[in-house]
A and B are shown apart, each in its own frame.
Chain A
């Protein structure tokens, strides 16, 4: 069984740039959720994708967007990067949009200078 994999693991961008983060869900899982984890804090829900459509969104501006592909992998895109976007971005997969368990990848650490 393949777990959740994310890429890249680390990246550095400058203010105003755009970034794309990628996630492959765990084998058998059809739902992907994205979380932002600032240093010293718990993960904050960004959005969830189920059957290639956004299925729930947290309190994040529209410049945070995503995609889910037919193979259930997903992308998180952030436009017009701000310094406060520096964080660990976690992808979590689950089987079904309303399951009570999430399985996380190791995250992509984004630094915005």
Chain B
């Protein structure tokens, strides 16, 4: 079945630093989404991408839909303590189910 890979698996950064993480797949997706999950809660949608090459921002977050349709990137600028959590990418094709990556765990050190 379809699988997504996320890297890095985990990262520790200093408050104020920028963060980059990515998601890759062996299959093509027509929609890429990024979610954040805090401990004990469900994932929250951050950004949705619908077109290859698309670059979309949501506050300090910027995500890009790779032109090959097999990858996506998420950047967080000027990290703050509340950015701590697990970031999941998800791929979706019309008529199929969502496929989630294993997540990138972000820790922000003061």
Binding site for B on A (CB under 8 A): 4, 33, 35, 40-45, 48, 56, 58-59, 90, 92, 98, 100-107
Contact = CB atoms under 8 A, between A and B. Distances in A.
Contacts of B96: 56
B97 A59 contact: no
B31 A100 contact: yes
B101 interface: yes
A107 B92 contact: no
- Looking at chain B's contact residues, the main secondary structure is loop
A110 B90 CA distance: 24
Nearest to B92: A100
Interface string B83-97: 000001010101111
A106 B100 contact: no
B27 to A, nearest CB: 15
Contact of A90 (B42, B48, B90): B42
Contact of A42 (B92, B97, B102): B102
A100 B30 CA distance: 9
Interface residues of B, number: 27
Nearest to A9: B40
A3 to B, nearest CB: 9
A104 B33 CA distance: 13
B75 to A, nearest CB: 20
A45 B41 contact: no
Nearest to B97: A45
B60 to A, nearest CB: 21
Interface in B31-67: 31, 33, 35, 40-45, 48, 50
Contact of B95 (A44, A98, A102): A98
Contacts of A58: 97
Contacts of A59: 1
Contact of B97 (A4, A56, A100, A107): A56
A43 B100 contact: yes
Contacts of B43: 43, 90, 104
Contacts of A92: 42
Nearest to B35: A104
